[in-house]
Amino acid sequence: MRDAPPVSISASSRQYGGVTPGTPPPADAPRVLEVREVTVRFGTKAVLEDISFHVPVGEFLCLCGPNGAGKSTLLKVMLGLLKPSSGAVLIRGEDPERGRRRIGYVPQRKAFDRDFPATPLEVVVANLRGTWPMRIRDDERTLAMAALTRTGAAKLHQAQMRDLSGGETQRVFLARALVTRPEVLILDEPTAGVDVGGRAAIIDLMAELSASESIAAILVTHNLQAIARCAERVIYLDRRVRAWGLWSELSRSPELRAIQGGDQAEAARPDAD
Ligand SMILES: Nc1ncnc2c1ncn2[C@@H]1O[C@H](COP(=O)(O)OP(=O)(O)O)[C@@H](O)[C@H]1O
Ligand SMILES: [Mg+2]
């Protein structure tokens, strides 16, 4: 990888009117996802302001930023769970309600009810079917087992979710996201709350996905190792898009170097988001 000169995001931000220091994807590349001038307000408080970027087919994008930056809120808008105050998200040209079927989503780990009795096989089939499976058909089992095999979780398929480690749980949720053969994966801090060994395995898995040209991903993470292994492009978000470019261009910017602190904090606080 070429050694990139340090990028001063604040100087570049002024130069680019606050939007895109770094190299965005070519404008004519086919897009799997597009965010157009999205603003989200809760009451009078703007949590996201005028967010615009796009993700080409097959690109692995890391979305970084401090706690409270609006990252999870932006993902909710992409998934059609939250309507923006203004602006729009397009998934292959469709609104999130229709385009949602093209997305595989791995939510933040703290979003699950860990006491709910369920097996990995049921968790994966439920996403395939859209409802909880009382009986699993052979064709559903085949697809679910293929997804669990892909994430190294096949041997766990009959276990109880509550007995799985953090890393095993995330493998199951990655299989759940992949089983519908999405064009874009959205992952919200998948390594948070996972022990160091489990974390390395998840990063290996994501790096494999990153190398696959058919699937795009948007990964929210504080984990610098995950970014360095997986990211083609990076967005640094803090209410607005502060930087958008290649990881090789932005890795030395002060904002992204500060993520190092976030990563150590993540290691120290196993349940941090
Ligand atoms: N439903 C909501 N109502 C009011 N404020 C919210 C809501 N959801 C998130 N926020 C606020 O929006 C900001 C961004 O939150 P979030 O998107 O979760 O940030 P991040 O994921 O980057 O840590 C935070 O200040 C949070 O408190
Ligand atoms: Mg969040």
Q: Which ligand is nearest to the CA of 238?
A: 1
Token pair for 247:
């990881």
DSSP 90: E
Whole-number pLDDT of residue 2: 43
* Partners of residue 238 on adjacent β-strands: 240
> For residue 72, how far is its CA from the centre of ligand 1 (angstroms)?
7
Neighbours of ion ligand 2 (CB under 5 A): 71-72
Identify which of 47, 109, 188 to mutate to test ligand 1's pocket (most ligand atoms within 8 A of the CB).
47
Identify which of 73, 188, 237, 238 to mutate to test ligand 1's pocket (most ligand atoms within 8 A of the CB).
73
Whole-number pLDDT of residue 133: 87
> For residue 221, how far is its CA from the centre of ligand 2 (angstroms)?
9
What is the spatial distance between Cα 91 and Cα 33, in angstroms, rounded to a whole number? 5
CA 221 to chain centre: 8
> What pTM was estimated for this model as a whole?
0.87
Whole-number pLDDT of residue 210: 85
> For residue 25, how far is its CA from the centre of ligand 1 (angstroms)?
28
What is the spatial distance between Cα 87 and Cα 167, in angstroms, rounded to a whole number? 36
- CA 50-226-165 angle, to 5 degrees, is 110
Q: Which ligand is nearest to the CA of 188?
A: 2
Asked if 71 contacts 237 with a C-beta cutoff of 8 angstroms, the reply is yes
What is the spatial distance between Cα 203 and Cα 195, in angstroms, rounded to a whole number? 12
Asked if 195 contacts 164 with a C-beta cutoff of 8 angstroms, the reply is no
Domain boundaries, the chain: 9-22+29-109+184-266
Helices (H), 179-258: 196-211, 224-230, 247-250, 254-257
Going by CA atoms, what residue is nearest to atom 24 of ligand 1?
68
Whole-number pLDDT of residue 262: 52
Instruction: Return all residues near 226 (Cβ < 8 A) that are at least 6 apart.
Output: 62, 191, 202, 203, 206, 219
Q: Which ligand 1 atom sits nearest the alpha carbon of residue 69?
A: 22
Per-residue pLDDT of the chain (273 residues; tens, 9 = 90+): 444 444 444 444 433 444 447 899 998 999 999 999 999 999 999 999 999 999 999 999 999 999 999 999 999 999 999 999 999 999 999 999 999 999 999 988 766 666 778 999 999 999 999 889 889 999 999 999 999 999 999 999 999 999 999 899 999 999 999 999 999 999 999 998 888 888 999 999 999 988 887 899 999 998 889 999 999 999 999 999 999 999 999 888 877 777 655 545 554 444 444
Whole-number pLDDT of residue 52: 95
The answer to whether domain 9-22+29-109+184-266 has CATH 3.40.50.150 is no
SS3 56: strand
Whether 70 is in the pocket of ligand 1, judged by its Cβ within 6 Å, is yes
List the strands of the sheet with 103-106, edge to edge. 103-106, 184-188, 216-220, 60-64, 233-238, 240-246
